[in-house]
Structures are given as structure tokens and as C-alpha cells.
Structure 1
């Protein structure tokens, strides 16, 4: 895509533009302000740098984007509903993963100015060395440390400045180098599935005791917003060691296991609900970190072979 500028005060026009420029999305106004949308895009090879100014509270429900999407909030806040780990909120000065490439996403943008950086996941595959040639995934939505977040934010700002320079943006060497630079920074600052050789400490820490401590922490924080970095910190290991331990002993990832625990908790509460106590599928799903009822129902049916409403009725 080429550079673009978009402005509109019309909700339907804004929805049509977002669907064409990003992915199919449904939006609505969830606040008192009138619709006002401003979007500017700079392009550097296959990387898009978009600056967005949403002058209203825009609720959105979107199909998978197909691209890695990093966000940096300048003002307001973004309340994102993560399909695998529940809701989280980005506030000014924070940077992270807005949505994985292959999952639908939803949330509310609260009168916010923010930037998003989108790129093909294949860039990560090219730079990383991953066992068996498997695709590299960013499997946490926050940088691994505060310092890592600051580093990622500086690199994104630098690359956006390069994209705004026509001479630099049209240089094939600059474009290739910038793509590798971005991928290397993401791999170094975010939790990913890249199979960089674990160090001796990580291999030592990836034992069954680590898994048991992590599961105990998950079970006591099921209704809270926790990321893989929180689990690793509570377990006294690195995120890399934590992921290695879960793959080695349970053949899964920490976040997949967390979703399994949350589904089990919701299943138990659905079965224990009594007629007339006011509980609904939506309220129970939200209690355990599932903010999108439709996606909760899909995950529940896949695990238990029937819709959650049927369990609630019984």
C-alpha cells in the first residue's frame, strides 16, 4: 500500500475505510463525542506506519489482520480483548502487540491518538532461527521488560522517520536493512516462539517444578489480567525458560494452558448456576477473562462439545 491520508466525521464512511485499509471490521460509537477520524500512513517496503487520531470512543470487532500489529499510545487509551489471555489496556507511553496476525480482535479505543506498525510475519521468520522451520509467533502482548519496551518504542519512532524521507523509503538497501532491524528488535524485546538457543540457565530452569509453580500462579490469578511476563516473574524464571518448560513437559504454551484453566473455571461456574440467580453466559465468560461472548462460545464448544448456554440451562 502507498502512503495515505484519511479524514471523516461519518461512522459508516470510517467503517468502510477501515475494512478496506486493514481487515473487515464492525465499529460503533460508545461515547458522548461525535465521530472524528484522522489517519495518516507512511510506508517503508512492506512495513506500514500509521498515525491514528480517533476523536470518539470507537468499539471495534475485527477479523484477523494477517499482519503483526504493534501499537504505541500517545493519548487516551486502548482497551483490547485478547483472544488467548483476556483484556488489557494500553495507556500513553506504552507499546505492545495490538493483535496477533491470525486471531480476530476487538475492544474500545477511548478518544485516543496512537500509532500502529504493521508488517508481514515472514520478516520474523527470515531473521530468526526456528526449530523445524516453524513460523515464528509473538506470543505475549507486552515487551518482556520496561527497558525492552522503551527500546522497541525508540526503534519504531526511528523507522517511521526513515519512512517519511522519500529518498530513504525508495532505497532497496535501506528497506531491507530496516525490515531486518525491526524484526531483530521485536525478537529481542517481545516474547516469541523463536527458537534462539536457550542458555544454560534457561535449560536448567525448564523443569517440572517450574511448570507446577506457574500453574499454581495461574490458578490463583485466573480472573486477572496476566501476561506471560507476569507468570515468569512469579515463577522466578525467564519467559524463555517458562515456555521451554511447558513445551518440554506439557507440549503446550503457558498462554494456551491458561486459557484451558479459564475455560474449565467457566465450565464449572456455568454448571453450578441456579435458575433466577441472574448469571448469564456473558457475565460468567467475562468473570474468567473472556470479553467476547461469541469467541468464548466457540472455544467452549470446541473443548466441551456443546454450547455454554446448554450447560447453563442444565
Structure 2
């Protein structure tokens, strides 16, 4: 092991409530301690006599995103993470990688995006002077998107094709850069909840999974007006809360697939779009009632789930026919 130093610096090092942590070390033991704190029990080693590691971490809700740069060949052996862990390699190579249920070890290079292992399985391998991103999410997020009592699982460690991988990569970049790393964004439960479920939906689209495909006959029977009325009442009473599709469906006593069918059939929209409109109405009421100088459009946007004021303004104008700044000024 090379002698050196280790330090962790940043706004917070909480691994779950936002803020950025920057870790920079040339001490293998210090790096191992940092990884154990933020990942799982593990062991690492160096076969190259160096041990430089720099990790930039942001986190919010049930998702974390790390950018990792290693100047050495790092051997690793990791206990189950309890999370879905996605790796996107920029430089270098990860080889000898094998999870407990893999038939053979894998080798991955720049441009490869893959899942390290099932959440309940250990894995091991070697990162050879590699630069890569690590995105971890609670597997329960998958069920928040599709519902069901049995935990949804990935059926392969690679996306179904290159297009699916590219789409997932864009979603990861958006969630990391525009939400988790955005100043103040992780203070908004609505924003973090929507962003993390957006990521979960992208994972479901990118990988083969055990999630049901398409509505069942029971879902079609349940897509009736009473279902819509129950869901609408629940949304309007809880629009300020972080709501998932599965929670809305449960309030209507149906599956997420049935609620999607019902809204499209009877309202010509989706539960998510309806929820967004209700929140935009809430934003309008807040802006109209605000005393001069008491708030800003950006603050109101963040409260109602928007990290980018420009996107909020566009949606607001589409819904209400004027920019939010005009509503705030009282016309």
C-alpha cells in the first residue's frame, strides 16, 4: 500500500439527504472505510503500488450517484448492497467481475453500462485505473412504478440493447445533474420523489425484468369511472405530498396498469399528467395569494416539484395562459 492521505469534504456526508461529498485519497485503508460507509461491507486491494481515488457523491431520497476516478488497479470483494447498482464506464476496464449467480466473469470497458449484481448477492472483480459512474437505487422504487407485492428483479445485468442503454444514461445524467446536484433541489420531496421514480421507470424500460408486461383482463375490467373518481379525489387531497403511481392506484383499489387505462379511457390523460395539472393549480393559488416580496417564482416552482424554473414557466403558461411572474405581480 502506498503511503498517502485521505480526506472527505463537502456540504454533507450523509449519503441520503442531498448535498455533495468529495472524497480524495491516496490511502487504501481510508478509501476502503469510505466505501464501506456508503456501499456495504467490502474489501479492496491494490496490485499496482498506487492507491489514488477520487469520488464525488450526490444523493437524495432512495438514490445516490457517484463519479469515481481510480489511478490504480483496485481489486474488490463486496457483500450484498441491498440496492440496484448500475455502473457506467468512462475510462479504463473492469474485469474479473462476477456476482454470485453469474455463470462466468465479465469484462467491461468504456461505453458499457451494466448492473453489478442482484441486491441480495455479493460480487467481486477488479477495476483497472478506471473512471466510471455508480448509480444506486432502492429496488422498492421499481414496485412504486409498477405496483405488486412481489419485489421486481432484473433478469440480466446488461440493458436489452444499445438504445435502451443510451436512454437510461440520459436519465441518470438528468437525475444526477438537475436534481441531486442542484442547489436546494433535494429539499423538495415532490421533486426528489418524481425524479427517483423516473429513474426507476427508465431502469424498467432498459433491462429485462420480472415486472408484468401489459394490462391483464382484470385491469381492463377495473378501468371504469369509479376508479377514476377515487384516484382523482386522492390526488386532489394529497397533491402536496410525494405520490407514486402505485400509491394512487392503491387508493383506487386497482393496479397501476388499471389506473393508467382508466385515466386514458375516461379523461384522455395519465395520472401523472393529471397530478401535474393539480400541482400547477396549487402553484397558481400560492402565487396569487403571495404578499409582495414574500416569495419568488423559483421558490414556488421548487415547492411544487420543479427544479428548473424555465420548465415550470413553460408548463405554467400552457396550463394558465400567462407566465407565473405575472400571476405573482398580481397582473
Q: Shorter-normalised TM-score: what interval?
A: 0.5 to 0.7
- TM-score, normalised to structure 2's length? 0.57
**Higher-Rg member (1/2):** 2
Match of 2:136 among 100, 106, 118: 118
Supply the distance in 1 between the matched residues of 2:49 and 2:72 (Cα, whole angstroms): 5
Contact 1:76-1:92 at 8 Å conserved across structures: yes
How big is the shift at 1:45?
A: 2.1
The answer for unaligned runs of 5 or more in structure 1 is: 200-314
Corresponding residue for residue 11 of structure 2:
none
Corresponding residue for residue 147 of structure 1:
163
Matched, 1:99 2:135: no
CA RMSD, 1 decimal: 1.6
Supply the distance in 2 between the matched residues of 1:103 and 1:138 (Cα, whole angstroms): 13
Give the paired residue count. Answer: 196
Match of 2:68 among 45, 49, 52: 52
Contact 2:101-2:121 at 8 Å conserved across structures: no
Supply the distance in 2 between the matched residues of 1:12 and 1:180 (Cα, whole angstroms): 35
What's the secondary structure of 1:106's corresponding residue? strand
Supply the distance in 1 between the matched residues of 2:205 and 2:109 (Cα, whole angstroms): 22
Match of 1:189 among 206, 211, 219: 206
How big is the shift at 1:33?
A: 4.9
- Where relative contact order (Cα < 8 A, 6+ residues apart) is larger, the structure is 1
Corresponding residue for residue 83 of structure 1:
100
Corresponding residue for residue 7 of structure 1:
24
Matched, 1:109 2:127: yes
Supply the distance in 2 between the matched residues of 1:70 and 1:166 (Cα, whole angstroms): 24
Contact 1:124-1:136 at 8 Å conserved across structures: yes
Aligned structure 1 segments of 4 or more residues deviating by more than 3 angstroms: none
Supply the distance in 2 between the matched residues of 1:20 and 1:87 (Cα, whole angstroms): 26
- TM-score, normalised to structure 1's length? 0.60
Match of 2:194 among 153, 164, 177: 177
Corresponding residue for residue 68 of structure 1:
84
Q: Which moved more, 1:83-92 or 1:97-106?
A: 83-92
Corresponding residue for residue 152 of structure 2:
136
What's the secondary structure of 1:153's corresponding residue? helix
